[in-house]
C-alpha cells in the first residue's frame, strides 16, 4: 500500500482548520502551557530554512504537552512593522500595506503545508492598527509612571506630583537620574510648567536622553546591533557609524533585581538563565574617580572589583568617551582620531564578541591613582563600551583577562596583587579563594573583606562610593521595539502588579 502523503496531509490539515483542533481554551481546567515562537518578518521570498528549523522543535514540544493533558497556547504571527517593510516599499515603489499582506498570505500557506499546530485564532500582525495601538499604550503607561522604591513597583506620575506638592522631593525614594536638584514643596509650586516637566522627566520610566547609537545615514535611521554586519547595515550594506543622538530610553534598571529573582523560578536551562542575567547586566561594586594630571578633568569608572584597585596599571576609555578629544595630546591626536573613526564603523556587539583582536591607542595623558597617587597612563580601547557603566575602566591586568591581553599586547606592566598566584600568562579571576597582596592596608584580606574596606576608604577620601549599576535597554524606535518584544509587554504588565 502506497503512502499517499499529499492526500493524508491535505485531509488532516483541512480537518484541523475546520475544527480549530489547536485552539487554546480560555475556560479550560487543564494546566496551562505557553509555547511562543519568534515571529517571522514576512518577506517576498517566503519562508527560509531557518524558520521551520526553529518552529519544528517548538511544535513538537507543544504537541507533546497537549498529549500530557495541558491546555497549550501555541500562537503565531508576523513581525511586519519597521525597517524591512519600509525599505522594500522604497525599492519597489509599492505601498507597504499591499506587499506585507501579500507576503503574509504566502507565509501562511507555507506554514500550513508544513503542518504546524498553531492556534491561528490568535494570529497577530505587528503592522496592524489593532496590534500597535497597544504598543503605543504601553509607551504611554511607561511615560506616565515612576518607580517607587518604597513600594517596589511603578506608580502613576500623578502620585509623584502629589508628593512634590506636599513635601518636595527630599523624601522621595525613586529610581531616577543622578544629582537631581533638591527642592521644597514651595519651590515646586512656583516652578514654571516647563521646569516642572523637566523635573518629572528625570523620574519617568520612559525619558529622553542623549545616547550612543548605531546611525545609518543612507537608511536615515538608528539600527540595532543585530542589524549590522561588519560595520554595514544588513539592509542594503550601507555604512553605519556610532554617534550621539537624543533617544527614548527606559529605566529598566528599576526592575533589575526583580527580573533577576524571577529567573530563579523558571524551568529554563542554566545557560539560558545566565544569558538573561548578562542581558539584565546588574553589577554591584563602586564608582571611583581618577583625576587627569595637568588638567581639571576627572574620569569616573565603575568597577565590580574595587578590591583590586592597587592592581591598576593603566586606564582604558571608550572611543566615544566625551573626554577623548580633551585629554588627547597634540602628539597623539592623529592616531587617536584615526582609531576613533575606525571604531565608529563597528557595532557594540561586534566589539564585545571580538575577543581575539586587540586594538588601542595611547592618549598621551595620565591619571592619578586616587590612593597611591601613582601615574596611570590613559589608553583608548574598543573593548570598553560607552553604553556600559561610565565608558571607562580601571584596568587591572592581573585580575581581568581582557585587560591582561591588552597589557601584554602593548607592553604595559602587570602588577600582581594576588598572593601565591602566577599571572604572567593569564589573569586570575577567582573571587572566592583569592588573597589580596601588594595592596597596602588590604594585604591578607579576601576580595569580599577588601571590598568593604576600600569602599569606605574611597568614600572617606571623597573619590568614590559603593554603587550598583544596570545596563539600560534603549528604545531605538519605541513602537517597533515594543511591538516585536512580547516579553517586554509581559514584564510591564507583571511589574505594574
Q: What percent of the chain has pLDDT over 90?
A: 61
Q: How confident is the model at residue 468 (pLDDT cuts 50, 70, 90)?
A: low
With a cut of 70, say whether residue 199 has pLDDT above it. Answer: yes
The per-residue DSSP string of 279-330 comes to HH--EEEEEEEEEETTSS-EEEEEES-GGGGGG--EEEE-TT-TTHHHH--G
95-106 per-position pLDDT tens digit: 888 989 999 999
For the chain, domain boundaries: 5-127, 283-469
Q: Which residue has the higher pLDDT, 3 or 488?
A: 3
Which CATH architecture group holds 283-469?
Alpha-Beta Complex (3.90)
> Do you know the residue count of the chain?
497
User: Residue 399: pLDDT above 50?
Assistant: yes
Strands 77-78 and 360-368: unpaired
Q: Could you give the dihedral angle defined by the CA atoms of residues 41, 46, 49 and 52, in that order, rounded to the nearest 10 degrees?
A: 70
The phi and psi torsions of 173 (rounded to 5 degrees) equal: -110, 95
Specify the CATH number of the domain 5-127.
3.40.50.620
**What cell does 424 get?**
604572567
5-127 matches 283-469 in fold: no
Alpha-helix residue ranges (DSSP H) falling in 68-95: 83-92
For helices 486-495 and 129-143, angle between their N-to-C axes, nearest 10 degrees: 40
Q: What is the CA radius of gyration of the chain?
A: 27
Residue 225 · residue 89 · CB < 8 Å: no
CA–CA dist 115, 50 (Å, integer): 16
Check pLDDT > 80 for residue 329.
yes
Which cell numbers hold the place of 110?
A: 507555507
Amino acid at each position: 500500500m502506497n503512502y499517499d502523503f499529499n492526500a493524508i496531509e491535505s485531509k488532516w490539515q483541512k480537518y484541523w482548520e475546520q475544527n480549530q483542533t489547536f485552539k487554546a481554551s480560555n475556560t479550560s481546567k487543564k494546566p496551562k502551557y505557553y509555547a511562543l515562537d519568534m515571529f517571522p518578518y514576512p518577506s517576498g521570498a517566503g519562508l527560509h530554512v531557518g524558520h521551520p528549523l526553529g518552529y519544528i522543535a517548538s511544535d513538537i514540544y507543544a504537541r507533546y504537552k497537549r498529549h500530557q493533558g495541558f491546555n497549550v497556547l501555541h500562537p503565531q504571527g508576523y513581525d511586519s512593522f519597521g525597517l524591512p517593510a519600509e525599505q522594500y516599499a522604497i525599492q519597489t515603489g509599492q505601498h507597504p500595506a499591499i506587499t506585507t499582506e501579500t507576503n503574509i498570505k504566502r507565509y501562511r500557506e507555507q506554514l500550513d503545508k508544513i503542518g504546524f499546530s498553531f492556534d491561528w485564532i490568535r494570529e497577530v500582525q505587528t503592522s496592524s492598527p489593532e496590534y500597535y495601538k497597544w504598543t503605543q499604550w504601553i509607551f504611554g503607561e511607561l511615560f506616565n509612571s515612576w518607580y517607587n522604591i518604597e513600594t517596589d513597583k511603578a506608580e502613576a506620575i500623578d502620585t509623584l506630583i502629589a508628593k512634590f506638592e506636599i513635601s518636595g522631593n527630599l523624601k522621595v525614594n525613586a529610581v531616577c537620574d543622578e544629582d537631581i536638584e533638591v527642592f521644597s514643596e514651595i519651590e515646586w509650586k512656583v516652578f514654571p510648567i516647563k521646569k516642572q516637566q523637566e523635573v518629572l522627566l528625570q523620574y519617568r520610566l520612559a525619558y529622553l536622553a542623549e545616547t550612543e547609537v548605531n546611525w545609518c545615514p543612507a537608511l536615515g535611521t538608528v539600527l540595532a546591533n543585530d542589524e549590522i554586519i561588519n560595520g554595514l547595515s544588513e539592509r542594503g550594506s550601507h555604512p553605519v557609524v556610532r554617534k550621539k543622538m537624543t533617544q527614548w530610553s527606559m529605566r529598566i534598571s528599576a526592575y533589575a533585581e526583580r527580573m533577576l529573582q524571577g529567573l530563579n523560578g523558571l524551568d529554563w536551562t542554566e545557560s539560558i538563565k545566565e544569558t538573561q542575567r548578562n542581558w539584565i547586566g546588574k553589577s554591584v561594586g563602586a564608582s571611583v574617580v581618577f583625576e587627569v594630571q595637568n588638567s581639571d578633568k576627572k574620569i569616573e569608572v565603575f568597577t565590580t572589583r574595587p578590591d583590586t584597585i592597587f592592581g591598576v596599571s593603566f586606564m582604558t576609555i571608550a572611543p566615544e568617551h566625551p573626554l577623548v578629544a580633551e585629554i588627547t595630546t597634540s602628539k597623539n591626536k592623529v592616531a587617536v582620531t584615526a582609531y576613533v573613526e575606525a571604531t565608529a564603523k563597528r557595532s557594540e556587539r561586534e566589539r564585545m564578541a571580538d575577543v581575539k583582536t586587540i586594538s588601542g591607542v595611547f592618549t598621551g595623558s595620565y591619571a592619578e591613582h586616587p590612593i597611591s597617587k601613582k601615574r596611570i597612563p590613559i589608553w583608548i580601547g574598543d573593548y570598553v563600551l560607552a553604553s556600559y557603566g561610565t565608558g571607562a575602566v580601571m584596568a587591572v591586568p592581573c585580575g581581568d583577562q581582557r585587560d591582561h591581553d591588552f597589557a601584554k599586547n602593548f607592553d604595559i606592566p602587570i602588577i600582581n596583587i594576588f598572593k601565591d598566584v602566577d599571572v604572567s600568562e593569564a589573569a586570575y579571576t577567582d573571587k572566592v579563594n583569592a588573597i589580596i597582596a601588594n595592596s597596602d592596608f588590604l594585604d591578607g584580606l579576601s576580595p569580599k573583606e577588601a571590598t568593604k574596606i576600600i569602599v569606605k576608604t574611597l568614600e572617606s577620601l571623597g573619590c568614590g562610593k559603593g554603587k550598583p549599576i544596570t545596563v539600560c535597554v534603549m528604545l531605538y524606535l519605541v513602537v517597533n521595539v515594543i511591538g516585536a518584544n512580547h516579553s517586554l509587554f509581559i514584564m510591564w504588565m507583571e511589574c505594574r502588579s
